[in-house]
Amino acid sequence: MKIVDLLNKNSICLEAKAADKAEAIRKAVDLMNKSGNIRDIKAYTASVLKREEEGTTGIGEGIAIPHGKGTSVAAPGLSAMVLPEGVDFDALDGEPVSLMFLIAAPETKDNVHLEVLSRLSMLLMDDAFTVNLRRAKTAGEFLDYIEKAETAKFGKAGEESKKAGGDGYQILAVTACPTGIAHTYMAAENLENKAKERGITIKVETDGSGGVKNALSREEIERADCIIVAADKNIDMARFDGKPVIVTKVADGIHKADQLFDRAIEGSAGIYHYSGKGSEVRDSNEGESAGRKAYKHLMNGVSHMLPFVVGGGILIALAFLFDNYEINPANFGMNTPLAAFFKTVGGQAFGFMLPVLAGFIAMSIGERPGLVVGFVGGVLASGGYTFSNLMNYSEAAQVSSGFLGALLAGFVGGYIIELLRKIFDKLPASLEGIKPVLLYPVFGILMMGVFIIGVNPIVGALNSGLNEFMASMSGVSKIVLGIILAGMMSVDMGGPFNKAAYVFGTAQLTVAEAGPEQFQIMAAVMIGGMVPPLAIALCTTFFKNRFTENERKSGIVNYVMGLSFITEGAIPFAASDPLRVLPSCIVGSAVAGALSMLFECGLRAPHGGIFVIAVISNPLMYLLALVTGSVVGALLLAALKKPKV
């Protein structure tokens, strides 16, 4: 159904004035009533206002599309208003609304209002179109602009519905981020909400920390018109062979859903061709840079490593909490049965950190055969084996390359498998079955063993030098390190900078004979990630006039997110106003990180937020640093943001 079929001159007002949102809606309803589409004007008005309570229909850029549906509507219709002076509509961008469309839809199964919403949303993304509507001198001119734009965008009546098969576009999506904590589900929710607004049928598979949810079936993939993969880690792509696929970052699923849907509907997505790597993520239209590929391989290892690090690290921290230092200082953490239990179990789990990291980086590059090669490389790197100590191996003779060695083993292991694939491609087809179970493991482990044992002394020396440098830091240099690491946690809130700082902090916990300096680094990293959500929560609580009603409601959730060390809770605010939110959060995090270092707060656990406060050294000063950084961030944000009119 075309927009111009639902709109007539009697339901258009080009010089409207309204004191507030409610008055603007009432005037738009009166215009709708003139077209004869409303049975019960009171009930219809109530349905529109109820929809606004669920979330504003002020979509930004001075545009609002309120709508109501029910038995109070006799026939589908539209009314339109231009408000030259603007009206506060609690819009997503906080700007006043000057162009407004009201939709009326009867209680039917065809969801006509969603179809109209979809068309309107796409047309209103064109700035030139909206400028013409605001400048229209007569209702007839207003309608002419719409008809021309609609014809240019969608063609003649019936073409789009034919392409869509009569039921809207069938789109599938997959969202995945390295940690699978927040970005994965935020992207999925945004894609689903945007699809609902535009009348698009969608199903979203999430590949999060709890595994794959809402998995796409083979039948659904076959019927799909397009597939959107918004992922920052590798997923199974073989199933999409021969389908139009759009591959992008998970952040685009959060911030650029409309653009992704436009590409899908316009048919500009490239056809994906499976290259023999089941986990490859690559758009046939857009080649990925080497840096982004390396980042995704690294994040695949990190995402699988984190459960071992977090679970094992917290249990180790509990061992020190329940132990008695006075019994035997040299054996602290193992002096009591309960402490020994936590330390043993946690230590075993934590010990898998480096092999798992290396194994899944290698698997991301070389698929399943890469897992064993990378895993063995991680064990050899962690164990510190060299050609000089193989015959007389002992703890004293270890030259552990640690975290750096495991990273190297992961990437080298993956590319060893790639090399072996090319070499063994020349073998007869009859030997294809023995490659993954015999040839790849044997030759891959052999090559990895020679490589990592050979480089362990070099990387181990580099690792030792870095650790000695950390241990030597004191005073101003230590505080500067805290400022940098904590600030990085706020730069992109779950992106590469955030992950780099967090991985660096957790790596310090793996250092043999880790001392107070390493634990202080982890404490500064965690406090830097806790501040952004807390600063936003405080600002929405004490400076309410800087935020819309929906933002104030979301701000309350950030108290829980911040205290739980889930930095991603601040993302919606940062996305809507990055120039004010990001600097405020970075400064607040940097202040908290500096104070944490100054107070010499240490943390043996790599996660947990407020729930591991008992295992933090100098816990009261740590809380003081957290509160101070959060307050600084909140005050700076309040100073930068202007009060809403």
Give the active site residues. 67, 177
- Identify the CA nearest to 301 among candidates 284, 283, 316, 279: 279
Q: CA 16 → CA 12, 137, 424, distances in Å? A: 10, 13, 75
The per-type count for the chain, helices as H runs and strands as E runs, is 23, 11
CA distance 185 to 207: 9
Q: Which residue has the tokens 């109209």?
A: 116
DSSP-assigned states of every residue in 10-27: GGEESS---SSHHHHHHH
CA distance 87 to 90: 9
CA distance 527 to 518: 15
Query: Residue 448's beta-bridge partner residues?
Result: none
- Identify the CA nearest to 277 among candidates 406, 188, 204, 370: 370
**Structure tokens belonging to residue 502:** 């967090």
Q: Which residues in 300-325 are b (16+ Cβ under 10 Å) and which e?
A: bbbbbbbebbbbbbbbbbbbbbbbee
**Structure tokens belonging to residue 47:** 């349905």
CA distance 195 to 68: 18
Please answer whether residues 491 and 498 qualify as being in contact, where contact means their C-beta atoms are separated by less than 8 angstroms: yes
| 135 HSE (CA, 13 A, CB side) | 7
Please answer whether residues 410 and 358 qualify as being in contact, where contact means their C-beta atoms are separated by less than 8 angstroms: yes
Beta-strand relationship, 58-60 and 63-64: antiparallel
Please answer whether residues 562 and 591 qualify as being in contact, where contact means their C-beta atoms are separated by less than 8 angstroms: no
CA distance 270 to 449: 41
DSSP-assigned states of every residue in 218-245: HHHHHH-SEEEEEESS----GGGTTSBE
